[in-house]
Structure 1
Amino acid sequence: MDLSFIINELGENRESYLNAVAPPVFQTGNFACKTVADMRHALQHETEVAFYTRGKNPTVVMLEQKIAALEGTEAAIAFGSGMAAVSAAVLSRVKAGDHIVCIKKPYTWANSLMLKFLPRFGVEVTMVDGTDAENFRRATQNNTVLYYLESPNSFTFELQDIRAVTAIAREHSVCTVIDNSFASPLFQNPAQMGVDLVIHSATKYIGGHSDAMGGIVCGSREAIHRIFKSEYMTLGAVLSPHEAWLLIRGLRTLPVRMERVAQTTRQVVAYLQQRKEVAEILWPFLPSHPQYELAKAQMKNNTGQFTVRLNTTDLKVIERFCDSLRHFLMAASWGGHESLIFPVAATVDPDSFSATGLFNLVRFYIGLEDADYLIKDLEQAFAQMYP
């Protein structure tokens, strides 16, 4: 299916809404039925019919159709946040007594789901180094039902060999779930490599404007129907029609934004490689990265995130550098028009600081600004490290 068709036309029945170029927001909580028979049909087919917005809403359905097509899956289901999508996907596959194999260092709240939430309900989780696919095999038990991947993860950017892991999963009849937010549905398609459920935090690249939150789970019709009938309708973490409309708007420019981000990121990384203040750049698209060949094999292009290890153990020097940046905002998330940093130093208590661990890492996200504009900002911030 053509990319331009998916983004601009798929699911958009313009004749049904006065040929408006931009689709309407179906900002309604429910949909009326003319007869008892109509209501009976709607209740019996709530996975397909617009009856109550907690179930199906036309604006949300349009977004789901587009993301499923971009990921090459049969169906998709949208949630109010990326973490809601992660939770629903995982919960749809586990019960008390089951076992999960999860990569080490997933997204913070996915980590909390695995190590704090699920054990309360009798689900065991083993965390493994995902850079070696055989670690999944070694950790698999008779009660293992799910492998959880995040490739790359969103801070230190380790990859998993997706094809190798899904091959092991098939041997053991294990479901595979991956957070694909880093790469976007344009630059990596895990379903084509055998993954069962593909998740996106739509808050990131799909939305692209830092003004909407959402999450998407993509998979087979059977898998998505299973989630709809249980976790989706029961827990109620649904996406609002207005948020769906904003995410559809974001999709319109996704290809041009991703190309711009990719190009600018390469320029900024090349500059940072020359700086003595930078001890290391964690980014799988550097030829020196141990998983560089795997990154090229699995992803069509680089995206905008990388992490820098500053060449200092002085917390005050790290803070001076970060505080001096004028055009990189200091914030969580990523994927919008604005460039960001997230310093690990912000999680450190200065009164009990010890120069160990990841304290000197700063995660960067490159947005849509000119490369020279960002490089000049970095230049002046480096100059402030040792005034």
Structure 2
Amino acid sequence: MDLSYIINQLGEEREQYFESVAPPIIQSSNFASKTVADMRYKMKHEVDEYMYTRGNNPTVSIFEKKMAALEGAEHAVAFGSGMGAVAAAVLSQVKAGDHIVCVKRPYTWTKNLLRRFLPRFGVEVTMVDGKNIGRIEEAIRPNTRLIYLESPTSFTFELQDLTAVAAVAKENNCSTIIDNSFASPLHQNPISFGIDLVVHSCTKYIGGHSDVMGGVVCGSREQINQIFKGEFMTLGAVMSPHDAWLFIRGLRTLPVRMDRVAATTRRVVDYLLQHPKVEQVLFPFLPTHPQYELAQRQMRNNSGQFTLLLKAARMEQVDRFCDSLKHFLMAASWGGHESLIFPISATYASEEMKSDLPFNMVRFYVGLEDPDYLIRDLEQALDTM
């Protein structure tokens, strides 16, 4: 299906709403039935019908159709946050007594779900080095039901061989889920490699303006309907019609934004690679990256995240560098119009929060600013060290 068609036309029945170019926000919690038979039918087929916005809503449905098509999936269901999507997808695949294999260092709240929440309900989790398919195979037990992936991972940007993982999962009767937020559906489509479910934090690239939160799960119609009838309807982490409308708006410019972000990021990385105060840049699209060939094979282009390791003997030097940046905001998320940093040293506030990563690491997200504007800011901040 053509990308331009998906973004601009798919799911938009304009003749139903006065040929409006932008779809309406159907801000209704309820949808009426004309007869008892009509209501009975809707209740029986609620997975496809409009009855109550906690289930389906016309504006949200447009967004779900577009996201499913972008991922090459049969169907999708949208949530009020990325973590809502992750939690529902994971919970749909396991029960008490089951075991999950997950890559090391996933998104922080995914890790909390797997390591702190699920064990309370009898689900065990093993974290492994996902770079090595052998480690994943070794971790599988007779009761393993799910392999959870994040490729590339947060902060260190390690990849998993999606084709190899999918093959191992099928051999062992396991499901696979991947968080594809880093790459966006434009740069990577895990379903084409055999992965079962794809989750996104739509708050990031899909929204693109740092003004809306949401998540989505994409997969086969059977799996998505299972999630809809179970975790989605039961737990209630639904996306609002207004938020879905904002995400549809975000999709209109997604290709243009991703192209800009990719090009600017390469310029910024090239500058940092030659700077004497930079120890290392972690970025999957560098030819020196140990998984460069895999990145080229699985992803169509780079996105805007990389991690910088500064040549710093003391945390104070890293703090001074971060505090001196004028055009990179310090914030936890990414994917919007603005460039950001997240210093690992910030997690050193307490032992409970402390990351196992070194204090001289700073994660960067490059937004839509001019590359020279960002490079000048980096140069002056590096000088303060």
TM bin, normalised by shorter chain, reads over 0.9
- The alpha carbon displacement at 1:350 in A equals 9.0
- Aligned residue type for 2:38: D
Asked if structure 1 preserves the Cα contact closer than 8 Å seen for 2:278 and 2:308, the reply is: yes
Cα separation, 2, equivalents of 1:153 and 1:140: 20
Mapping of 1:300-339 within 5 angstroms? Answer: 300-339=300-339
Q: What residue in structure 2 maps to residue 118 of structure 1?
A: 118
Q: What residue in structure 2 maps to residue 371 of structure 1?
A: 371
Under a length normalisation based on structure 2, what TM-score does the superposition of the two structures give?
Answer: 0.98
Please tell me whether residue 362 in structure 1 is matched to residue 362 in structure 2.
Answer: yes
Mapping of 1:25-104 within 5 angstroms? Answer: 25-104=25-104
Q: What residue in structure 1 maps to residue 200 of structure 2?
A: 200
- Aligned residue type for 2:52: Y
Cα separation, 1, equivalents of 2:316 and 2:138: 43
1:241-294 CA-to-partner distances (Å, cap 9, x unmatched) read 000000000000000000000000000000000111110111111111100000
Q: What residue in structure 2 maps to residue 277 of structure 1?
A: 277
Cα separation, 2, equivalents of 1:149 and 1:268: 28
Cα separation, 2, equivalents of 1:112 and 1:351: 16
Please report the RMSD computed on the Cα atoms of aligned residues, expressed in angstroms.
1.5
Q: What residue in structure 2 maps to residue 182 of structure 1?
A: 182
Pair 219,192 (structure 1): closer, same or farther in 2 beyond 3 Å: same
Asked if structure 1 preserves the Cα contact closer than 8 Å seen for 2:101 and 2:126, the reply is: yes
Cα separation, 1, equivalents of 2:154 and 2:29: 35
Cα separation, 1, equivalents of 2:179 and 2:192: 14
- Structure 2 gaps of 5+ residues are none
Asked if structure 1 preserves the Cα contact closer than 8 Å seen for 2:344 and 2:357, the reply is: no
Asked if structure 1 preserves the Cα contact closer than 8 Å seen for 2:157 and 2:282, the reply is: yes
- Aligned residue type for 2:215: G
Give the secondary structure class of the aligned counterpart of 2:142.
coil
Give the secondary structure class of the aligned counterpart of 1:43.
helix
- The alpha carbon displacement at 1:197 in A equals 0.2
Pair 25,79 (structure 1): closer, same or farther in 2 beyond 3 Å: same
Cα separation, 2, equivalents of 1:93 and 1:376: 48
Give the secondary structure class of the aligned counterpart of 2:173.
coil
Give the secondary structure class of the aligned counterpart of 2:199.
strand
Pair 361,100 (structure 1): closer, same or farther in 2 beyond 3 Å: same
- Structure 1 gaps of 5+ residues are none
Mapping of 1:112-191 within 5 angstroms? Answer: 112-191=112-191
Pair 312,350 (structure 1): closer, same or farther in 2 beyond 3 Å: farther
Q: What residue in structure 1 maps to residue 2 of structure 2?
A: 2
Please tell me whether residue 262 in structure 1 is matched to residue 262 in structure 2.
Answer: yes
Identity %: 66
Number of aligned pairs?
A: 384
Cα separation, 1, equivalents of 2:38 and 2:357: 62
Give the secondary structure class of the aligned counterpart of 1:348.
helix
Q: What residue in structure 1 maps to residue 223 of structure 2?
A: 223
Cα separation, 2, equivalents of 1:380 and 1:104: 35
Cα separation, 1, equivalents of 2:54 and 2:372: 46
- The alpha carbon displacement at 1:313 in A equals 2.3
- Aligned residue type for 1:64: E
Cα separation, 2, equivalents of 1:226 and 1:49: 15
Q: What residue in structure 1 maps to residue 252 of structure 2?
A: 252
- The alpha carbon displacement at 1:173 in A equals 1.1
Cα separation, 2, equivalents of 1:248 and 1:155: 28
Cα separation, 1, equivalents of 2:266 and 2:211: 26
- Aligned residue type for 1:225: N
Cα separation, 2, equivalents of 1:229 and 1:185: 25
